[in-house]
Structure 1
Amino acid sequence: MGKKIRESKILYIFLSVLISIALWFYVTSLDGNEDTITIGNIPVTFSGVEALEQRGLMIVDDAPRVSVRISASPMVLARLDNQSLQATVDVSQISEAAQYTLAYTVSLPAGVSANQVQFVSGQVGNVSFTVARYASRPIEIQGQFTGTAAEGYLPGSADDFVFSPTTLTVSGQAELVEQISHALVTVDGEELTQSINGDFPYEFIDANGEPLGELDVEVDSQTVHVSFPIYATAEIPLEVTLVAGGGASTANASYTLSEDTILVAGSSQAVAAIQEEGALTIAAIDLATVQDGDELQLNIPLADELTNISGFTEVTVTIHLEGELATRTIETDNIEVINCPQGWSARVLTRVLSVEIRGDPELVDAVIEENVLVSVDLSQVHEAAGQYSMAATVYLNSVGTVDQIGVMNRGYEVVVELSRA
């Protein structure tokens, strides 16, 4: 019981003190008692900044700060500090970059009237600040890889970097913005086998390739998303496919290549796929188009997913034909026309066509003119009167297989005249 009484007395004492303080503030606010205080570190606010920006100008200094000395009742003073008071400078009339000293005015917050406050000093004054040219421009992003790739892998080149965003927009004092040549993103890693994807910081580089350090400028992105490839590599055998023809069989034909393999780079999946094929086929060569010892320059075809890193893009193929092969030219007038368009008639103007055959000497010697037939297909001819040079197909009716005797593919053509039937 006694304990409760003591606790009640303490509470009553606390409330009495609190009420006394409140009454003192109230009475002093009514009886005209005033205190004088100094409020410092009030930030200066610039009005008319939009007009500056329209003229390509900006304020580059940190906002100046000022102090005031004020007399008012304690209750009013309690509502004033360096956040509620506002010092304003009008910069709307500035039209060029320079150092300026202009007047400021300190205003009271809402709810505090001028007749409640007396400014002893500092309500007006001057502040100095710098106005400079404003610039904003896109900055190119470049990348460099400083790490290593594992054995059997190859890092991409500087051109392989992909950035998002593709450029950085830098804004601020023109003198600083104009120093920037590009933004450099550096990525690294050791013994890498996977491509790099992620957000990375960057640094600004000047025209001499030197880092610029921290610049007091605004940038629309603080990091850059980077994609950079780490390629798998493999050495792939090269080959050609030989097709029997012109009296030459694949069993008696071979070839040599100026380069037997090619080094390719690409994604792990693309490299694995070509490795599973065993070799890269450069071309199919019809033996009816070549002679023993012929050399052919062939381009190396690659899928878009792969890159040739060997340094050569062509291969020389040398053809070797074994066994005795005879060659003979036969002139024939046995020329027919097929698939002439309806309503049209065709007349062959080429009287005689020279045809080259090759194969086993005995079989070649036994061929007569009647064994050779030249056929011209007009199914694709332009249906208009006139003369046309048309591709011709030569057939050889002879004893023996295509591996033993055949027509050399020389791109035979026949001239045909087309007229209305």
Structure 2
Amino acid sequence: MDSTRTTRSTLRSRRTWSAVGLAAVTALALAGCSDDRSATDSGDAAQSSTASPPPDLAAGQVAPDGATSDVVSGLEAPWSVVPVGDDGDAFVSERDSARVLELRADGSTREVGTVAGVRHGGEGGLLGLALHDDDLFVYSTAEDGNRIQRYELTGDTGSWRLGDATTVIDGLPANTFHDGGRIAFGPDGMLYASVGDAGNRSEAQDRDSLAGKILRMTPDGAVPDDNPFDGSPVWSLGHRNVQGMGWAADGTMFAAEFGENRWDELNVVEPGKDYGWPEVEGTGGEDRGFVDPVQQWSTDEASPSGLTVIGDTVFVANLKGESVRGVPVSDPSTATEYFAGDFGRIRTVLPGPDDTLWFVTNNTDGRGDPRDGDDRIVSVPLTTGS
């Protein structure tokens, strides 16, 4: 009993690098491939690029500034990552193997555990991770649909293990595509989850269906009293496939969303609002009662997945667009593109330790062209405008 209390206290004290504490989410995404495997002894080739901030970087805006370096390489279909403490340690999910890995600051990885009952196929599998109150929350695809589970963590740095699992919510719409999968705790302490339309387009407009929605729940899965629809976990509707969520310091919620054939979207999410899918894709829905995106990109240049907010900048990872975009919170209709084509598909972004940005490649997921050393987590220094 005493050792358990000590472990939990240690984990709490190391949360200073949490996505919520930095007004960011995660949403965020990656995985590892072997126990106790270090990037420095894997033989994988290093890959690097250099970024420069825009010359007109405004006060409070954040931008990559300098050369990249690999945090770890040789990962397989990484999807989500959540930091543990402020020293560069993190938990990582592998989509296809259903393993959760512990990543150490030295680039080594070890298996924390395997999530039981995960059905891998297409875009489904082990997806989002989130940390809250010393428990690891996991979004995954099972035989009877997508689900969110809460795992008690045991052990400590270098020896974390998955303990008992409790189901938070299950039976969420699932398919081999459009599974959503991002989970994050907002600044209000509530659990947010993105659920894709799972190919059932019309259900995104049905308030009684959880397909094509962003959900908001208590950590135990109960419906908060101040949700927009009585007795429903639905926070917003009319989404096709949201895979990135994050909050600015003033509480503004941003979400990145995959379009179909024309427009991918960056939305400001408000409770009870309808974002138009499948009636409208991109802008042009306001006169029909839908909320227009604050920015849209052609599907050929984006496929936005993970999202995080650092300072006054929203960073968005792009899969098909193979880049990281920086979007000012104060003017989310504009963007600066970084690393275009340098690292292939990018699944997620998150704040790293010591004023860095981490981003995660996704070239081994069956849709990319793996390069020597893929997949990898990459770090780049950040600078803030003054």
- Scaled to the shorter chain, the TM-score interval is under 0.3
Structure with max Cα Rg: 1
TM-score, normalised on structure 1?
Answer: 0.17
Question: Which protein is richer in helix relative to its size?
Answer: 1
> Relative contact order (alpha carbons < 8 A, sep ≥ 6): 1 or 2 greater?
2
Question: Which protein is richer in strand relative to its size?
Answer: 1
TM-score, normalised on structure 2?
Answer: 0.18
